[in-house]
Amino acid sequence: MSDSTSPQVDARYDRVMLKISGEALMGDQGYGLHPPTVERIAREIKSVHDLGVEICMVIGGGNIFRGLSGSAQGMERTTADYMGMLATVMNALAMQSSLEQIGVFTRVISAITMNEVAEPYIRRRAIRHLEKKRVCIFAAGTGNPYFTTDTAATLRASEMDCQAIFKGTKVDGVYDKDPKKHADAKRYETVTYDEVLAQHLGVMDASAIALARENRLPIIVFSLDEPGGLKGILAGRGTYTKVS
């Protein structure tokens, strides 16, 4: 833990799920991985890990392949979704590499068996990794087509007994309309699961929101582009929206 002069971690959140999109890893590029961006996010995660917080992660695969868009272009949906799952494994390995280069031990845990590059998902083993202060990066979604990585993050957060899901986005919370297109967009400080669903606020897909609601799992939406944003929220400051 940090010394007495440093911000103290919010005790409500000593184990969290961090959900980020694959697009967050591509920086200003239109596709793929941008190593400096991956490294920047890894340093943000380390700053929180250094506070003693146990961290789970789920990373999307949209920077490499998105199953839904592949399906829309005529590809069979199940095949497209499996391709998207493999893209999340690539992103997980990239994040693992960046984290371990700065001294954070990690485990990539895949819902699809691929023993040469990742551990299979076994709940009790994953919890043990967290107790040993390893970052667990859950890859390949739920292992099933037709489920998004948002749903996978909510499922794993529930299984791992996380106190909250932190959803890193391009904006600093949930707005009533796109703040990049509308100057009068209003940011919510708090919003309920039902309001997210009824108003189609786009925090996560409906299945993920319903699962979070059922398990009373709060979702903290914050800007991944804000330096120190995640650490600041855990220290009791910062700008974000809480869905509960």
Angle between helices 77-101 and 35-49 (to 10 degrees): 70
In-domain check, residue 187: yes
Tell me the pLDDT band of 10, cut-offs 50, 70 and 90: very low
- How many distinct structural domains can be found in the chain? 1
List, for residues 87-143, the tens digit of each pLDDT value: 999 999 999 999 999 999 999 999 999 999 999 999 999 999 999 999 999 999 999
> What are the percentages of helix, strand and coil residues in the chain, rounded to 5?
40, 20, 45
pLDDT value of residue 5: 41
In-domain check, residue 97: yes
List, for residues 169-186, the tens digit of each pLDDT value: 888 889 988 888 888 889
In-domain check, residue 61: yes
Angstrom distance (rounded) from CA 171 to CA 143: 29
Read off the pLDDT of each residue in 205-221 and give the average, rounded to a whole number: 95
Angstrom distance (rounded) from CA 8 to CA 244: 23
SS3 44: helix
> Is a pLDDT exceeding 60 seen at residue 4?
no
Query: Pick from 169, 178, 180, 182: which is nearest to 241 by CA?
Result: 169
pLDDT value of residue 89: 97
pLDDT value of residue 12: 64
> Is a pLDDT exceeding 70 seen at residue 2?
no
| Amino acid letter, 46 | K
Other CB atoms closer than 10 Å to residue 213's CB: what's the count? Answer: 18
pLDDT value of residue 111: 97
Core vs surface per residue 214-243: b (16+ CB within 10 A) or e? eeebbbbbbbbebeebbbbbbbeebebbbb
Which domain covers residue 222, as residue numbers?
Answer: 15-243
pLDDT value of residue 8: 46
Residue percentage of the chain with pLDDT more than 90:
68
In-domain check, residue 68: yes
In-domain check, residue 6: no
In-domain check, residue 7: no
Q: What is the pTM of this model?
A: 0.90
In-domain check, residue 175: yes
pLDDT value of residue 3: 41
Angstrom distance (rounded) from CA 165 to CA 158: 9
Domain CATH number, residue 223:
3.40.1160.10
- Are 204 and 145 in contact by the 8 Å Cβ rule? The answer is no
pLDDT value of residue 170: 83
In-domain check, residue 4: no
Angstrom distance (rounded) from CA 69 to CA 49: 35
pLDDT value of residue 6: 41
